[in-house]
Structures are given as structure tokens and as C-alpha cells.
């Protein structure tokens, strides 16, 4: 018998009232990773340094607030995971498809009520069946291999607005995927540079608001890039080395990879519940994984052609939807009080957003032409039509610059 479709508002209110142990019983996947199983950047270095006879003073520095994790973002038990969405917020493929699939259909329904999201902006919803309590949806720039000031600013805004939304909702642990580096074609290296430096600056300006930011990479390529950059950007300069560093050895501490298998033992034996296809999102072990939803190189080209961003053609004023769709948008100013009761979360303060991508593309101020986004979004219009992401372990690296 088909399950009765849940009302997202009722489900959200119910979930928000649950204590952790009660909530854990509702996770669609029981092989979740709790925060204490993810070492901080300092702990990773510390464990290496201990091996090399050095003991690090445990500080409350920035290195205690960041982590590098390689694996599926949908299993992370944090306050919020960030979704690399598209302007429609109606799901798609890649990490967007994984998150929607793991969260369940209520996520789609709540997203549908948000009337889209502009590039660089962020909106927050409940996490539903995910171990993450919330999902912060942000829309990265469609770079197609080209990184100009606009693309850089938009990607920087994705991280800033996501962190701002996190703390505005009194949340303090978050995981980011590599926004825009998949089908949107932002080169991996500059994207990592922007992600790491933006997050570092933000934590330095708001040290007491953040407990942990996890950089969740999926591809071996990104893991290598992040590990190298983090060793430089998150230098451990607030430590006291207990013993002399071997003469002439000034190499920064290397780090061991934080991968799914490191943490698997901690969740061994947890029963798989629900109709989850085990391994749908499992990125495999230490290899690049080619996601079905991320077509091979040549197709990405075609897809990118399809998603040709023609800013001037599409450039339209953001439509302030508060007076236009207030009954549709639970977060419009007029309904602010009602919205606050129903939804503890708030949206970005300006609350203007791209008018929702209609299937026929009639009203669309997104940065991707209606026709193109229609193709991308149409396939994911209904929750059960969201393409599943299955991965084959493959040595192919991520997109080269």
C-alpha cells in the first residue's frame, strides 16, 4: 500500500520537537557519521605529529573548527548540510539529487514553497529524513570553465550567505560540498581556494558562532587539492611543539585521509532501515567516483552548451516576491510572524529571490535560460522522478582546469 504523503509543515514541526535519540530513529540511513567521528584539522595533524614525537597544545584555534572529509554529504550528522542547488530549488542531479533522494519528498515540497533562489543566495529548509537537521540550499555560478570576477563573487557569496543563514538560525556545525565544481563547471582548484579562504575569514570574524565547518569532498581530485591548500591556509600557528622539530625538516605535517572507511567501524552493525538502496550515494573508497548523474566529459560539454548562461538575455530584475506571491511564499514579510511560528528557520534577510522556474520557462529570472533549465529541472519536477545518483568507482580525476 502506498505511504500516505506527509504534509511538510506538519512533518517539520514534529521533527523539530524530537530529541536526538528519537530523531536518529527516523534517519533514512542508519550508517550516519556523527560529528565526534570526524577529526578536526588539528586532530588530523596532531595524530601525525604524535607519530613524529610532537605533541600539539590543544587550542581553540581555527584548526579546531574545520575538517576535511571525503565521502557522501548525506550521511553527515551536523546541524546543516549545504546543497549545490539550481535556481528552481526543485532538485536535479549531482549532490542536489543525492540530498533530495536521502531527505525524502517533504524536502521537495518545502523547496517548492520557497519560489526559487538566486545565484549566490541561500535558503534553508528542514533536513527531514537526513541526519542533518537542516539543508541550506545555495546556487553556485555556472562557470563552464571560465572564472571571472562575477563567478568568483557569486561563489564567495554562496559560502558567506550559507554561513550567515546557519548562524542566523542558531546553528553551528555545517558541511559544504564543492559548490559549482560539478556540472556548473567551476574549476576545482580556484573553487577550493575561494571556499577555504572565505570560510577562514568568516570564522576569524565570527569565532564564537562556529563549532565546525566540514569541507566534504567527493572526488579524489578534490581531496588532494583541499588537503594541500588546507596545509597552507590552516597553518597550525597556535601550537607549542613539545619536542624539537628534527633539524631542517620544515615540511608541513601531512594528514591522513578522512574517508568513509575510517569511520565505518563506528557505525558497524547499525541496521539499514527503510527502502534505501544501500550504496546509492556511497562514493566508494579511495577512488574518484563517476556519478551517473554527472555525465562523462563530452556530455557535460553538451549539457553545458544547453545551460549556456546568457546573462544579458536572462538578466532581469529580481522580482520581489513578497507582494506578488505572499500567499505562496510562507516567508514573505506579511506572513513573517506566521512564518516564524511555523518555520524556526529564516531565509536570507533580503528575501528577494528568483521567481520560480515554471515548467514552461514563462517566468524565469534565473541565470540559466529557461529552456535549458527546463530540461534540467523538468526531469526532477516530481520527487519520485529525481534521478538517483549511482556511482561507479573509477580512476577518472575530476574535471581538469
Ligand X SMILES: NC(=O)c1ccc[n+]([C@H]2O[C@H](COP(=O)([O-])OP(=O)(O)OC[C@H]3O[C@@H](n4cnc5c(N)ncnc54)[C@H](O)[C@@H]3O)[C@@H](O)[C@H]2O)c1
Provide the binding-site residues for ligand X, judged by CB under 6 A. 72-74, 84, 86, 92-96, 98, 140, 177-184, 216, 218-219, 222, 281, 291, 293-295, 376, 389
Closer residue to ligand X in complex, CB, 174/389: 389
Query: CB of 218: closest distance to ligand X in angstroms?
Result: 4
- Residue 303's nearest CA partner among 192, 395, 220, 182 is 182
Closer residue to ligand X in complex, CB, 40/281: 281
- Residue 343's nearest CA partner among 167, 162, 113 is 113
Residues 6+ apart with CB under 8 A from 325: 115, 332, 355
Closer residue to ligand X in complex, CB, 174/179: 179
As a whole number of angstroms, the distance between CA 231 and CA 252 comes to: 7
As a whole number of angstroms, the distance between CA 227 and CA 254 comes to: 8
- Residue 109's nearest CA partner among 191, 10, 182 is 10
Query: CB of 97: closest distance to ligand X in angstroms?
Result: 6
In this structure, the chain runs to a length of 401
The answer to whether the CB of 287 falls within 8 A of the CB of 393 is yes
Query: CB of 245: closest distance to ligand X in angstroms?
Result: 35
Q: For 282, left (φ over 0), alpha (ψ -120 to 50), or beta?
A: beta
CB atoms near residue 323 (< 10 Å): 10
**Phi, psi (degrees; rounded to nearest 5) at 101:** -65, -40
Cα–Cα distance list, 38 to 66, 89, 208, 242, 283 (Å): 10, 29, 20, 25, 17
Closer residue to ligand X in complex, CB, 183/230: 183
Closer residue to ligand X in complex, CB, 171/219: 219
Query: CB of 94: closest distance to ligand X in angstroms?
Result: 2
User: Residue 206 pairs with which residues in a beta bridge?
Assistant: none
The answer to whether the CB of 35 falls within 8 A of the CB of 133 is no
Query: CB of 379: closest distance to ligand X in angstroms?
Result: 8
Closer residue to ligand X in complex, CB, 59/224: 224
Concatenating the DSSP letter of every residue in 194-255 gives HHHHHHHHHHHHSTTT-SEEEEEE-SHHHHHHHHHHHHHHT--TT---SSPPPTT--PPPP-
Closer residue to ligand X in complex, CB, 40/88: 88
Query: CB of 38: closest distance to ligand X in angstroms?
Result: 14
Query: CB of 92: closest distance to ligand X in angstroms?
Result: 2
Closer residue to ligand X in complex, CB, 111/291: 291
Q: For 299, left (φ over 0), alpha (ψ -120 to 50), or beta?
A: alpha
As a whole number of angstroms, the distance between CA 353 and CA 88 comes to: 10
Query: CB of 201: closest distance to ligand X in angstroms?
Result: 22
Query: CB of 296: closest distance to ligand X in angstroms?
Result: 10
Query: CB of 78: closest distance to ligand X in angstroms?
Result: 13
Closer residue to ligand X in complex, CB, 61/94: 94
- Residue 358's nearest CA partner among 331, 382, 377 is 377
Closer residue to ligand X in complex, CB, 44/290: 290
Amino acid at each position: 500500500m502506498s505511504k500516505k504523503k506527509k504534509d511538510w509543515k506538519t512533518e517539520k514541526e514534529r521533527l523539530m520537537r524530537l530529541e536526538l535519540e528519537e530523531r536518529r530513529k527516523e534517519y533514512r540511513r542508519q550508517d550516519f557519521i556523527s560529528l565526534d567521528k570526524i577529526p578536526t584539522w588539528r586532530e588530523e595533524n596532531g595524530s601525525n605529529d604524535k607519530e613524529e614525537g610532537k605533541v600539539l597544545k590543544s587550542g581553540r584555534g581555527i584548526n579546531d573548527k574545520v575538517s576535511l572529509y571525503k565521502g557522501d554529504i548525506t550521511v553527515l550528522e551536523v546541524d546543516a548540510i549545504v546543497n549545490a542547488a539550481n535556481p528552481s530549488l526543485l532538485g536535479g542531479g549531482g549532490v542536489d539529487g543525492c540530498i533530495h533522494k536521502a531527505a525524502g519528498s517533504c524536502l521537495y515540497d518545502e523547496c517548492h514553497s520557497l519560489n526559487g533562489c538566486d545565484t549566490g543566495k541561500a535558503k534553508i529548509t528542514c533536513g527531514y529524513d537526513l541526519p542533518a537537521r537542516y539543508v541550506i540550499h545555495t546556487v553556485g555560478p555556472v562557470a563552464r570553465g571560465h572564472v571571472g570576477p562575477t563567478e568568483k563573487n557569486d561563489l564567495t557569496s554562496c559560502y558567506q550567505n550559507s554561513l550567515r543563514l546557519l548562524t542566523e538560525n542558531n546553528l553551528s556545525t555545517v558541511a559544504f560540498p564543492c559548490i559549482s565544481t560539478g556540472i556548473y563547471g567551476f574549476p576545482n582548484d580556484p573553487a577550493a581556494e575561494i571556499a577555504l579562504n572565505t570560510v577562514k575569514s568568516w570564522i576569524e570574524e565570527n569565532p564564537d558562532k562556529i563549532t565546525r565547518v566540514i569541507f566534504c569532498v567527493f572526488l579524489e581530485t578534490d581531496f588532494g587539492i583541499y588537503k594541500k591548500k588546507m596545509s597552507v591556509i590552516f597553518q597550525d600557528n597556535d601550537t607549542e611543539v613539545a619536542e624539537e622539530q628534527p633539524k631542517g625538516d620544515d615540511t608541513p605535517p601531512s594528514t591522513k585521509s578522512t574517508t568513509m572507511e575510517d569511520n565505518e567501524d563506528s557505525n558497524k552493525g547499525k541496521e539499514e532501515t527503510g527502502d534505501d538502496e544501500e550504496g546509492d550515494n556511497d562514493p566508494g573508497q579511495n577512488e574518484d567516483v563517476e556519478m551517473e548523474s554527472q555525465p562523462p566529459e563530452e556530455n557535460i560539454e553538451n549539457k553545458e552548451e544547453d545551460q549556456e548562461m546568457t546573462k544579458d538575455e536572462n538578466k532581469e530584475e529580481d522580482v520581489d516576491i513578497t507582494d506578488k506571491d505572499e500567499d505562496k511564499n510562507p516567508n514573505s514579510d506579511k506572513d513573517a510572524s506566521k512564518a516564524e511560528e511555523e518555520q524556526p528557520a529564516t531565509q536570507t534577510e533580503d528575501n528577494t529571490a528568483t521567481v520560480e522556474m515554471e515548467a514552461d520557462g514563462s517566468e524565469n529570472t534565473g541565470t540559466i535560460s529557461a529552456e535549458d533549465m527546463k530540461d534540467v529541472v523538468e526531469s526532477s519536477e516530481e520527487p519520485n522522478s529525481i534521478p538517483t545518483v549511482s556511482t561507479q568507482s573509477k580512476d577518472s580525476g575530476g574535471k581538469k582546469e
